[in-house]
Amino acid sequence: MREGSLLVPLIMTLSVLVVLASAILAFYFFPAPELLLRGKPDPHTAAHSVRIVLDDGELVVPSSLVARIKRRTLGTVHQVDLQVPWPYNPARLPANAQEARDLSDWMILTFQAREKLLDPAERLEKIYKVYFAGPPTPGPGGLQRHAFAASSPYADLELFVSADPNQPALIRCDLKPSSLGPILCEARVPVSGATMMRYRFAQPHLAEWRQLDALARALLLEFFRPALKK
């Protein structure tokens, strides 16, 4: 009788431990735990939305655009990569981000912890200008192209600058293809006090930078929701 009375609490204890262990494994080793908790379908896109909590806000995005979620040791999110088809049509989204095997016609939106992010003019003057190889030359889409000196830390990049006060831009482009496939260009946009967004696209689309920049900023406004101040 005594052995039977001890067996019941032992089984219950083991059951609780198994449930806790399963929850911990799911939380840390699933690539995107948020995708297990999808919201209701968006009537405009017919896609499920997913809520991803960041340091000082959250993203609410169609789950089919989520390519990667990176977490810190304690489980909080520190980077989210979205893959958006270009041209963008919210009524015809991909089934999932894995469809983008060739990123030549996709834009990557990365939300991550904000670094010391200077505005384009300040970054140009304080950081990049001292490393230029010479005067700028005309680039696509009305941009000015700056080449870096071979001895500079930016020798594997070229810089494209918009002097348009209505749409300033500072776009860095690699000189070699990335591990994702095409040669990529990127620009950075502040989101909040703790978060920034990088948007990347294939270099052949550089002439369309105005439309890409406008889309990236529009999606930022649509997807990001700042935390409510207490």
Do residues 25 and 82 share a domain? Answer: no
Q: Which residues of 25-39 are buried (b: 16+ CB within 10 A; e: fewer)?
A: eeeeeeebbbbeeee
pLDDT along the chain (230 residues), means of 10: 54 56 45 43 60 93 94 88 94 81 91 84 91 96 96 96 91 92 94 93 97 97 87
Do residues 181 and 209 share a domain? Answer: yes
CA dihedral of residues 14, 16, 18, 24 (deg, nearest 10): -150
Do residues 58 and 171 share a domain? Answer: yes
> For residue 128, what is the DSSP state?
I
Amino acid at 22: S
User: What is the sign, positive or negative, of the torsion defined by CA atoms of 66, 51, 216, 76?
Assistant: negative
In the prediction, which pLDDT does 230 show? 61
Domain coverage including residue 125: 40-226
Structure tokens at 131: 């490393």
Do residues 21 and 128 share a domain? Answer: no
Amino acid at 161: V
Are 39 and 18 within 8 A, CB to CB?
Answer: no
Do residues 62 and 2 share a domain? Answer: no
Do residues 13 and 59 share a domain? Answer: no
Do residues 24 and 45 share a domain? Answer: no
| 3-state DSSP assignment of residue 90 | coil
Do residues 143 and 65 share a domain? Answer: yes
Do residues 96 and 22 share a domain? Answer: no
In the prediction, which pLDDT does 17 show? 55
In the prediction, which pLDDT does 170 show? 95
Structure tokens at 125: 């003057």
In a domain, 170, yes or no: yes
Do residues 11 and 101 share a domain? Answer: no
Q: For the chain, what is the radius of gyration of the CA atoms?
A: 23
In the prediction, which pLDDT does 44 show? 42
In a domain, 35, yes or no: no
Do residues 88 and 5 share a domain? Answer: no
Total domains in the fold of the chain: 2
Do residues 73 and 107 share a domain? Answer: yes
In a domain, 85, yes or no: yes
In a domain, 79, yes or no: yes
